[in-house]
Amino acid sequence: MQNFTGQKVVISGASRGIGKAITLAFLEQGATVIGIYGGNKEAAAIMLEECSRFDNRLQLHQCDVANPLQVENFFKQIEEEFDTIDILINNAGIRRDKLLAMMDEESWQQVIDINLTGTFLMCRSAVLLMLKQKYGRIVNITSPVANLGFAGQTNYGASKAGQIGLTRSLCKETARKKITVNCVSPGFIDTELIADLTPEQVKEYKKIVPMRRFGKVEEIAAAVLFLASKDAAYITGSVLDVNGGL
């Protein structure tokens, strides 16, 4: 495992699920993490408490990644305190599943705004800071739904496919500045995001996965840390599937 001592990492959705595991993994490896959460103050407080052993290397900020002004202000604070950042992980994401014929515009727009526009806004501010030092790692958390499709997830699938398109174009803009941009695509991972699945659905979906199990948040964190490491210097514009063979 790469050591990230001295590196500054911004992670969205850092308070729960996959983002929490990624945050813990970076903290374990010596990084300073500036995390973002959406609205769940209780989860953020628990996370801070759990991380008190990391010598104040974790900050958590409430910031809506879909709100341009909030994202801009968040990065202004970072620039004042740290000047630049080394790593950005766009992990915040939501689902609002409905069949397309029944889908209200709000369910469509919220998912696109948080999952895709949020990724754009965070990348825009982060790249400007990374350019100052001509180094950076960006990892966007997408989903197999982007390629495979899933009934009830046209909004989510479009947002996740959009993240891949953004990644492949942005990496071409930043390659010469040593800023890599990649995706990690987790399969079914046991978090609150999929807590609404019935036991029957869980059983059914596990049958679809060749490894016959859901993934662990730590298995996603390991892939993210690799792409964020100096060892991954020649990997950009790629999508790393971590899905048990889906």
Catalytic residues: 156
Measured CA to CA, the distance from residue 219 to residue 64 in angstroms comes to 26
Measured CA to CA, the distance from residue 203 to residue 180 in angstroms comes to 38
Question: Residue 97 has which token pair?
Answer: 């599943």
Which string of b and e fits 31-48 if b means at least 16 CB within 10 Å?
A: bbbbbbbbeeeebbeebe
Measured CA to CA, the distance from residue 185 to residue 9 in angstroms comes to 20
Residues engaged in binding ligand NAP (CB under 6 A): 12-13, 15-19, 36-40, 43, 64-66, 91-94, 114, 141, 143, 186, 188-189, 191-194
CA 15 to mean position of chain CA atoms = 12
Measured CA to CA, the distance from residue 17 to residue 7 in angstroms comes to 23
Measured CA to CA in angstroms, residue 93 lies from 45, 66, 150, 152 at distances of 20, 10, 17, 16
178 phi/psi in degrees, rounded to 5? 60, 30
Find residue 9's DSSP bridge partners. 33, 87
| Residue placing its CB nearer to ligand NAP in the complex, 17 or 136 | 17
- Kindly report the length of the chain: 246
